Amino acid sequence: MICDTCANYVYDEDWECYTCMVNMDEDDYYRMMSGKRSECPYYQDNDEYKVVRHQM
């Protein structure tokens, strides 16, 4: 998991830490943590310039 580059991973001022804003159900969380699914199904790349670099 690469949470640091995910658009859903934001700073929560109330908790004073970074948290995932996805409301993931227990089954998805279990699959992701158990290794059966190595990638987060809700991952969104936060790199706005990825398309531009691909076009160059």
Single-letter amino acid code for the residue at 19: T
Residues contacting 7, CB < 8 A, separation 6+: 44, 45, 46
Interatomic CA distance for residues 10 and 17, integer angstroms:
8
Confidence category of residue 30, pLDDT binned at 50, 70, 90: confident
Mean pLDDT of 15-41: 83
Residue 16 has pLDDT above 90, yes or no: yes
Q: What percent of the chain clears pLDDT 90, i.e. is strictly above it?
A: 25
Supply the pTM of this predicted model: 0.62
What is the predicted pLDDT for the residue at 12? 93
